[in-house]
Every structure is written in C-alpha cells, then in structure tokens.
Chain A
Amino acid sequence: MVSLSLKPPEEIFQADFRLWPTAFHGVENYRVALTAAPMFRFLLNGLLVCAAIFALQLLVCIPCAYALAKLRFHGRDTMFSAVLVGLLLPPQALAIPHFVLLNVFGLLDTYAALILPWVISTFGIFLLRQFFRSIPDEVIHAARLDGLGEFEIIWRIMIPMTAPALAAFGIFSVVAHWNDLFWPLIAVRREEISTPALGILLFRDDEAGQFFGPLMAGAVIIVAPLLVAFLIAQRRFIDGLAVTTMK
C-alpha cells in the first residue's frame, strides 16, 4: 500500500513489480489525495467525533459505575442486570430506531447523529464497575471521614486509581468509532462531516480516487494515526482491545 502510494500511474500498471518506485511520485500522489478530498477534514472529524463520544461516555459511565460498585441503594441489582442485558445487544440491531429517532429531531447528517447513539456504553459501565469494586471500601471510608464528598471521592480517588482501566476503555472506544463504517454510512451524507472510514470511501467514488496511487495515499493517511499511536503504546493497545473479550 505504501509502495503503491509512492508510484506514478504508468509504473503501477507495469508488468514487473518493484517495491520501491523507479520514479518517485509520492509527493504528487499525497498532494492529490490531500487536495481532491478533504483528508485532513476527515481526520479532524474522526478526532472530534471520537473525543466527544469518549468524553460523554465517561460522563455517563463513571458515576453509574461508581454507584453500582460502591453505593448501596434499592434497585442496584436491577440496574446492574439492565446493564448486563444491554451488553447483549449488537449496536447494528438498533440502527433503524436510532435513524428514525434522529430523523424525528432533525439531527440526521450532523455531528450529533454520529455521536449521540454511542453516548451510553454498557460495556464501559460494566468494565469500570469491575475495576471500582477492586478498590477497598476502607479507602472510601477513610476519604469520607476526611470530609470528602462523593464527587471528590470519584474525582480524586477512583479516577486516579483506575487510570489503566480508563485508558483501556478509551482505546477500545476510539478504535471502534474511528474504524466504524456501518453507522456513519447511515447517519451522514455530507462529505464535510464524514469520519475517516466513510471519507476514504467517498474519495474512492470521487474522480481522483480512480487512480490507484492517490487512493493508496488516501488509505495510508486514514490508517496512519491509529497505527502510529499503536506503535507508540503497543502494550496498552493490546490490553485495551483484549479487554473487549469480556464483552
């Protein structure tokens, strides 16, 4: 892929294959990819959508997971069972009602359409609850005796102590939504708000995408950010994704 992205068109069609191009055409291919389609826009959209989804997921998950792990209240077990049932549901099966719901509120083809259906993550609640439970009750009792409110306990004790779990969940969430094609394909049409996975498809159907060189350059641009992040923090990524097997 990287090899093709550096070659001029006539060399791609040559009979003999060389890994390194005889005539370096890389700059030109990447220029075409970057100008013919708003590649940076796709990446920026991906970043924005993934960040918004993860931030909102944390906002909903953390208090809920904390309450399920450490507070005693009537209906806690029922709530936890509801979360477990939610874990069973494949997101693709909810596409029709989500689509209808967004349509009713006139939100289709907006960033909100890409973000809102993912705000609740039963997997996140489940995962964080397991990790919160592993923190001894004594720590929380001590904090309460020191006069810390529940919010401060979450902010100053639970979150720092479960940072690896939060990182794992973050990696899982970002990888899933950066790579997702199914939902963006349904929710948006406009190129300006397309996420990377959808963007590369739009680019292929575009005129410039008919040429293999620029198309491969585009694919490299779309895949690169996650792969670079992965190479920097391999261990964390593998653990973060392996944790999904609990789902």
Chain B
Amino acid sequence: MAAPTARIAKRSGEHGLGWLAVSPALLLLIGLLFGPVAAVLLFSLTDWQLGSFTFHFIGPANFRTLFTDPTFWKALSNTLIYAAIVVPGTVLLGLVVALLIESSPGLRGFYRAAHFLPVMSTMSAMAIVWGTMLHPTIGLVNRALGVMGISGVNWLRDERTALLALALIGIWQGFGFAMVLFVSGLKAVPQQLYDAAAVDGADGVLDRLRVVTLPMLGPVTMFVVILTAKRSFEVFDSVRVLTQGGPNYASEVLLHRLYTESFDFLRMGYGAALTVVYLAIVVLLTLTQARLLERRVHYS
C-alpha cells in the first residue's frame, strides 16, 4: 500500500473518525444508561422522596425494610408463581402448535400468522378485552362454562384465581413467539436422523417425537424457557389494567410493586431499593440467556 508515514496518518485519521462516530452514542450511553444505574444505586441508600429537597444517606436501611416487608415477599413469590405457570404453559402450547403446524403444510402460513397475532397486539388494549371476557356475569368465559354446567367465578376479583387468570393471559400472549422459535428449531432437524430412527424401528409418530424431535429441540427449548422466564418478570400491563395487584395483593408482582412504590407513593429511595433487586434478577436471567445463545451459535 502506501508509505509508512501515510499509513500512520490514515490510522490517526481513522482514530479521530472512529471517536467522532461513537461519541453521540457514548454520551447517551453514559447519560441515559450508566449514569441512571449509578443514580438508582445511590438513591437506594437514601430516604429521598420525590418533591422533598433534602435527603439523608441511611445506608442499607431501605433494603432492610424491603426484606421485612411482607408485600415485597408476596410480590416476589407471586412473580415466581406466575413464571411457574407461564413458562411451562408457553413452552408446551408453543411446542404443540409448532408440531401441528409443521405436520399440516396446507394452511401453515395462516396458522402461523393467527397464533402470532397476540404477540403483536397492544397488551393494554387486549387486557381490557380479556377483562370483558372474564366478566363474572356477561363474560364469554363464564357463559361458556355455564353452558357446560359449571358455574364460573369472578376470575379477576377472586383471590384464588386472579393470578392464575393473569398467567393464562400471559400464556395467550407469548406462546406464538415460542411457536415461531420451535418451528425454526424443527426445520433444523436433519432428515437423516428420522431415516436412521426408522431403520432402528422407531417409525411411529410418538416414537419419532420421543427419539428424535424432542432431544434435538433441547437447546431451543432451554432458550424459550429463559426467554419466557425473563418476560414473566417483566409482566406489568395486564396487572395494571386488570387487577392493580389486588385483591388483597393476590396478584401483586415485582414490576407493579416497583411502579406503585416509586410513582404512586413517590418513595424514590424505597422504590430504588426495589429496582436494585429487580435489576439483579433480570441481569442474571439475561446473562444465562446470553450464555445459551453463545452455545447455540457454537452448535450450528
């Protein structure tokens, strides 16, 4: 190429250009992401309330209050229960629908689109529609149950069913996405494996499923599990619209608690402590997901 001096000049030119190009992103990264995270950590150690001009450092007192607050534990355990229903529900439904779609090529496109619609839909609007369907007297759900001779309950106002109803809505919204991932996973299973299984005598539908399909879907399944778990921790819209965490905290979840403490009660210090806990959980799940993704890339 050129003489060494020219090359150095070009290098330093590229150096300046590089920094010029990343500088807006860098400033915003600091101002809107890293700065705020530092601020949250700082706030969590103070007794600051929005609107007041003074605050004191109170050390880990917010965390102590948080960990002795039964509402927090209720929100955490509810979030875990929610995830424990939504994750297997989404995986199972997504997998079954994906298998059905793959085995009936005719209307594949139509079914895929139909099941994917909830993923796209604005949750707050769809939650309102669900609210109507779950209405105790005129809702579609209880009417359908009534036809079958079962008397339904007031799903969203009953302590026993509120969280379950929200979880079912969560499954309804998310399984289409799981289905898409499973379909692409199914496409990646090599035909030779099925042929080999057939030679070994595994040619029934269930045998093929058990011996070939399910083991080959292992990595995708793990991935869907983590992804759905992460989304379960982000559940907010349906809770806010339908139950506001009630009745009697029966459907209170972490993110809704965080919202209420911080922006309804304006207890920023306490809200920040809650945020730190929330942040730790989500970061952990995201790291697990990144780990899996890396592994999947290495496989293919």
Q: Give the shortest distance, in Å, between B228 (CB) and chain A (any CB).
A: 11
Find out whether the CB atom of B278 lies under 8 angstroms from the CB atom of A71: no
For residue B102, CB closer than 8 A to chain A, the reply is: no
For residue B84, CB closer than 8 A to chain A, the reply is: no
Find out whether the CB atom of B128 lies under 8 angstroms from the CB atom of A61: no
Find out whether the CB atom of A63 lies under 8 angstroms from the CB atom of B22: yes
Find out whether the CB atom of B40 lies under 8 angstroms from the CB atom of A93: yes
For residue B101, CB closer than 8 A to chain A, the reply is: no
Within 8 A of B (CB), among A125-165: 125, 150
Most buried by B among A89, A103, A198, A216: A89
Interface residues on B, range: 35 or more
Find out whether the CB atom of B263 lies under 8 angstroms from the CB atom of A197: no
Find out whether the CB atom of A150 lies under 8 angstroms from the CB atom of B17: yes
Residues of A with C-beta under 8 A to B33: 86, 89, 94, 120, 122
Partner of B132, one of A100, A212, A241: A212
Kindly state the separation between the CA atoms of A75 and B19 in the bound complex, as whole angstroms.
9
Kindly state the separation between the CA atoms of A212 and B134 in the bound complex, as whole angstroms.
13
Find out whether the CB atom of B138 lies under 8 angstroms from the CB atom of A60: no
For residue A236, CB closer than 8 A to chain B, the reply is: no
Residues of B with C-beta under 8 A to A185: 240, 259, 263
Within 8 A of B (CB), among A1-20: 1, 4, 12-13, 15, 17
Give the A-B pair count, Cβ closer than 8 A. 221
Residues of B with C-beta under 8 A to A117: 32
Find out whether the CB atom of B122 lies under 8 angstroms from the CB atom of A200: yes
Kindly state the separation between the CA atoms of A237 and B35 in the bound complex, as whole angstroms.
33
Interface residues on A, range: 35 or more
With A94-B37, A179-B122, A245-B223 as contacts: A73 and B19 at CB distance below 8 Å = yes
Within 8 A of B (CB), among A86-129: 86-90, 92-101, 103, 116-117, 119-120, 122, 125
Overall SS of chain A's interface: helix
Residues of A with C-beta under 8 A to B82: none
Selecting from A22-30, A47-55, A221-229, the interface stretch reads A221-229
With A234-B113, A242-B181 as contacts: A98 and B124 at CB distance below 8 Å = no
Kindly state the separation between the CA atoms of A242 and B36 in the bound complex, as whole angstroms.
29
With A13-B138, A17-B143, A73-B18 as contacts: A181 and B123 at CB distance below 8 Å = yes
Partner of B113, one of A82, A96, A231: A231
10 more contacts with CB within 8 A, not counting A72-B18, A181-B237, are: A63-B20, A67-B17, A86-B29, A92-B255, A181-B236, A212-B138, A215-B128, A223-B125, A241-B180, A245-B223
Residues of chain B at the chain A interface (Cβ within 8 Å): 11, 14-22, 24-26, 28-29, 32-37, 39-40, 43, 50, 109, 112-113, 116-117, 119-126, 128-129, 132, 138, 140, 143, 177, 180-181, 184, 223, 227, 234, 236-237, 240-241, 255, 258-259, 262-263, 268, 271-272, 275, 278-279, 282-283, 286-287, 293
Residues of chain A at the chain B interface (Cβ within 8 Å): 1, 4, 12-13, 15, 17, 59-61, 63-64, 66-68, 71-76, 79, 82-83, 85-90, 92-101, 103, 116-117, 119-120, 122, 125, 150, 175, 178-179, 181-182, 185-186, 196-198, 200-201, 204, 212, 215-216, 218-219, 222-223, 226-227, 230-231, 234, 237-238, 241-242, 245-246
26 CB < 8 A contacts A-B:
A63-B25, A67-B21, A67-B22, A71-B14, A82-B26, A87-B286, A90-B278, A92-B234, A94-B33, A97-B43, A99-B262, A119-B28, A120-B28, A120-B32, A122-B29, A179-B123, A197-B124, A197-B237, A201-B241, A216-B132, A222-B125, A230-B113, A231-B113, A234-B109, A241-B119, A241-B120
